[in-house]
Structure 1
Amino acid sequence: MKSIKKVLVADWLDAYGGAERVIKSIEEVCRFDITYTLICLMHRDHLFKIYQTKTPRIVQTFVRHFGKPFRYFFFTFHFFVDRIKVPKDVKLIVSSSHSVAKGVRKSSPDQLHISYFQARNFNYIWEDAPLFFGKFQSLFSPLILFLRKIDVAQAQRPDYIVANSNFVRDWVKFRYNRDADVIYPPVDLSQFDLQEQKEEFYVTVGRIVTVKKFDIVVEAFNQNKKKLVVIGDGLHRKELEQMASPNIHFTGFLDTKELRQYISKAKGFIQSGVEGFGIATLEAQACGTPVIAFGQGGVLETVVEGKTGVFFEEQTTSSLLKAIEVFEQTTFDAAAVRIEALRFSEERFKKELGEFIEQKLQEHNV
């Protein structure tokens, strides 16, 4: 890539999850000079998983003063991303956006801003508003409508939007009236080997927050008494641990090696939320572990029903329990499950993203 000054804008850096794995690959393509983010709470060791060859220069906003409960101040995010000052000598801005990073302002008209959408953006105020606000949604309705207006306006700022799935691309068109290209995110298949011998437990992975719907998974396994391992952490972990029966084990966040040990040996991987893409489901498939997933979102592009997994139709405990029954009556070929995941390699992502950025730089004479 051209020797120009480049910056990355990320919503926040708090844990090394799926979005951060994508950022790692974007960094390897671009080699950014500066990273701007609302807040960085990520452990130093995890930061170096992203910035492997250098000590990163990370610039945070006032949100850093909110600390770990920063998500409760979501209504300030648009304001603070708008206050990020990108130096005028920067030529390329790449935003990794699942919330508000897309809204960063260019400081010069000859800058190029490409935004990679990791998911439907700022979904607190869109489809997931009923889950996030609950019975108080009507009370917060004026705030939600106000934030939606700002969100749509800020979504017009990138020169180009790249979506991580056709599902997210269609959502971008519907909500923001913006066209988007699609580049599927990377899965580092070298970290996830085929494991054909499975054990009698299921696994689910992710940030334990309301919109991920971990509650229906815990409720289902409370009823069927099968062994479940929940990997991840978040605001609702303690609440779920209190309601979980002894057959359910919570591990907290794990590093890649420990994560692989669980998902490679699991009988099945469960995804209960709506993901724009769902990297964790592909990491499971790369290990030959089939998936039980709620049948909306990016999983429809990555899971082949009857071959690499099964879907459930409603985000309810009963619907998930029925899907588990179907799953246990289906025979899966672990090697065939892995083959499907090979279409989403990290090398493919880097090549496609690199070529896209180079093309747009040339078109804009940057």
Structure 2
Amino acid sequence: MRVAVLDHTAELGGAELALVRSLEALDPTVVEPVVVLFSSGPLEERLHRAGHRVVVVPLDPGVRDVGRAAGPVTVVRSAVAGAGFLGRLVRTLRGLDVDVVHTTSLKADLLAVPAARLLGLPLVWHVHDRIAEDYLPARTVRAFRALARRVPYAVVANSAATAATLPGARRLTVAHPGLSPEQVAGSVRRHQPEGPPVVGMVGRLSPTKGQLVLVRAARRVVDVRPDVRFRLLGAAAFGAEDYEREVRGEIDRLGLADVVELTGFVADPRPELDRLTVCVHASTVPEPFGQVVTEAMAWGVPVVATRGGGVDEIVRTQPPGADTGLLVAPDDDAALAAAVLEVLDRPAEALERAARAHADVASRFRADRGAAILTRVWLESAGARPFPAPSESDRPRVAIAHDYLTQRGGAERVVLALHRAFPDATIHTTLYDPDGTYPEFRDASVVVSPIDKIAPLRREHRAALPLLPYAVSRLRVDAEVVVASSSGWAHGVPATGRKLVYCHAPARWLYQADAYLGDEAGSSAKAGALSVLSGWLRRWDRRAASSADRYLANSTVVRERIATAYGIDAEVLAPPYGIDPADPQEPVAALADWAEAGYLLVVSRLLPYKNVDVAVEAVRGLPERLVVVGAGPLEARLRAEAPDNVRIVTGLTDAELRWTYAHARTLLAPSLEDFGLTPLEAAAFGVPTLALHAGGYLDTIDESVNGAFFEEPTTEAVRAAVITARDRGWDAAAIRTHAEQFSETRFRERIRSEVERLLSP
């Protein structure tokens, strides 16, 4: 199989170096690559030295060097109009007699489209940039995402973080940039290099890479440790010369001319890495991947990096004792300086982390793994007709269905976890309110039912109950496997392929109506309507359940309810907790004066069966303070009745919610939950839980580690549990370790294996 690999630049950037390593790791008996560059330069020379065939099809520099702000349409129009470039590219590809066209840069992605179409060749995009508005102009993001869903035969992303910015892209696959064997040190460090400590940074000089942040952090470090020296390895590229001047000016302004050295471009960074006490990655926006991080780790150098993007896939911070590096918030020179000083002041711990990192990245990020993924994608592409119309039978591999995306709750967090497990999957749902649910859904491709046009139903999905069977039946999902996240509706989606149901609970309004309605049970109009409809809804619900190929339950109690309602024996897969304590926190102004002493905490939708009113009454007259986080129909009543030691807050961002958990002393969980994520979210912060001895809490709370039970959801029982827990000591580290049993990594691995099981012959 002959593959034409196209790149618009011949400079040696991160994507280009990754390309060189991938080509070297290919099996030559299977693939013959030919690299087509749109200019001459160092990459051409390096590929020639490695024995690869390279062809240059010159592109007008005015087009090749146009900035990202120009937009994709401008790039293509300029190239078509510019001195016959398209004709030359078509003739070159025809003469090379290739089977697949593979592009490795955004400009090459766009410029290859007309050529591949004219030749009838399958096109594979290899995306090395996050297609997000913090990285690219908004119009480029919109256009590129739309094209990725329709134009290439397949898309390869360099990380899950990049893949998540390409919702609905065709046949989306992740292939991490790999390390060649010579990039991995043969043994780990036992001692730091002799002489004054050296802090280094490897990467081209660019505003997004954060050299200015490191320079400002250097001033803070040197104020504490005057012996430390800094080396910035890399040159300005892609028009960043003004930024280099700004960096040099900041060095002079801060009086660091004798401390910070800009070395310029370094062809082989390994000798430089040998000199470093710590390697810093300081990008100010989330990196698509972060190759310099894997390279430093593979060489055994302690790493301090900024959170976000692909770096979160490289650096492990959990569980305690298994971390492989230090992560800090981006664009925070104070936090960066503190982390660097931690490495310098605790060299033994830093070297232990570096040893774990060395073993970890050497195993996970190998060039031959990435080459094998590319080969598989190319073979599949070569065997398929290029540019298939949407009406043809090549279905997406996985799709996701969910009841409705109108609120922020545990079930919606599970859908986000499913989407991170299958980032190319489209999400199908009856109602979607972007402002009412988690903002991350804006980055997904969401398909809605006809009733989504009725705006009041998006604000109050319970009013849509009689219409939901109709709405679900209109969500015909065309995929090899649909993963249905269901609390009573999504398991009924019509599917052309196999159906895997992840059940949060059989419909509460049918099988637990009294608990669901609360005070409205028996006499309200809602109760009357449900009574009239329940027979028909039960028949629909059981037919929907029988349409599934496989059922998973989120807890033992839900497994029992599924067996009772449907006669189905489901396996249990606990959902992951959805909040990472390592992510940034933002203080909640309304709680600032309670933060130091701590408080009891309830995180819940304000619905009757959640028993939040019980928790509020339980603390009346006690010295403890209670924070309630949530919204719902009971909010006005609870605010009116709450005593002075209770505060209710709504609309928190995830950063604010993390802060709220971090300052809590104990979580209260008085509701009868099918699973209940909040005790695990609290446990991730080392916070124990007092919970009702029932439901999903039986699976997640170990009374010897992370909590205690009370026997009934009454004011007296909750009050007694709070008083009893005053004198108990808790081991926060043990609580956090307990939470790791329910990590998203484990959830993703299991759900992916379940999908593969359904796809197996």
TM-score normalised by length of structure 2: 0.44
1:103 maps onto 2:103 in alignment: no
2:409 and 2:555 map into 1 onto residues whose CA distance is 18
The question of whether the paired residues in 1 share the 8 Å contact of 2:508 and 2:516 is answered with no
1:112 to 481, 494, 498: 498
1:271 to 666, 669, 676: 669
The question of whether the paired residues in 2 share the 8 Å contact of 1:8 and 1:32 is answered with no
Partner of 1:335: 733
2:532 and 2:468 map into 1 onto residues whose CA distance is 17
Partner of 2:6: none
Q: Alpha-carbon deviation of 1:323?
A: 1.3
1:219 maps onto 2:617 in alignment: yes
Q: Alpha-carbon deviation of 1:164?
A: 1.4
Aligned residues: 352
Letter in 1 for 2:500: I
1:129 maps onto 2:514 in alignment: yes
Q: Alpha-carbon deviation of 1:32?
A: 4.2
2:608 and 2:453 map into 1 onto residues whose CA distance is 23
Flag structure 2 segments of 5+ consecutive residues without an equivalent.
1-155, 157-169, 172-394, 584-594
Residue 760 of structure 2 aligns to a residue in which SS? helix
Partner of 1:351: 749
1:8 and 1:74 map into 2 onto residues whose CA distance is 21
Q: Alpha-carbon deviation of 1:57?
A: 3.6
Q: Alpha-carbon deviation of 1:7?
A: 2.2
Between 91-100 and 124-133, the greater mean CA deviation after superposition: 124-133
Q: Alpha-carbon deviation of 1:198?
A: 7.3
Partner of 2:418: 26
Q: 1:128 to 1:288 in 2, by over 3 A?
A: farther
Partner of 2:550: 160
* Higher RCO, 1 vs 2 (CA within 8 Å, ≥6 residues apart): 1
1:337 and 1:227 map into 2 onto residues whose CA distance is 22
Q: 1:326 to 1:340 in 2, by over 3 A?
A: same
Residue 266 of structure 1 aligns to a residue in which SS? coil
2:567 and 2:686 map into 1 onto residues whose CA distance is 38
Q: 1:33 to 1:130 in 2, by over 3 A?
A: closer
Letter in 2 for 1:120: A
2:737 and 2:753 map into 1 onto residues whose CA distance is 25
Partner of 1:181: 571
Superposed structure 1 runs of 4+ greater than 6 Å apart: none
The question of whether the paired residues in 2 share the 8 Å contact of 1:113 and 1:160 is answered with yes
Residue 155 of structure 1 aligns to a residue in which SS? helix
Q: Alpha-carbon deviation of 1:359?
A: 1.5
Between 16-25 and 269-278, the greater mean CA deviation after superposition: 16-25
Percentage of pairs with the same residue: 27
Flag structure 1 segments of 5+ consecutive residues without an equivalent.
none
Partner of 1:42: 434
Q: 1:198 to 1:151 in 2, by over 3 A?
A: farther
The question of whether the paired residues in 2 share the 8 Å contact of 1:99 and 1:121 is answered with yes
TM-score normalised by length of structure 1: 0.88
1:72 maps onto 2:460 in alignment: no
Q: Alpha-carbon deviation of 1:175?
A: 1.2
Letter in 2 for 1:123: R
Deviations 1:251-296 (A, max 9, x none): 1031221111111221100111122221111010111100011111
Letter in 1 for 2:505: R
2:453 and 2:581 map into 1 onto residues whose CA distance is 32
1:198 and 1:176 map into 2 onto residues whose CA distance is 49
Residue 563 of structure 2 aligns to a residue in which SS? helix
Q: Alpha-carbon deviation of 1:225?
A: 5.2
Deviations 1:80-117 (A, max 9, x none): 21232234xx22211111231111122x3xx1111111
Q: Alpha-carbon deviation of 1:142?
A: 3.7
Tell me which structure has the larger Cα radius of gyration: 2
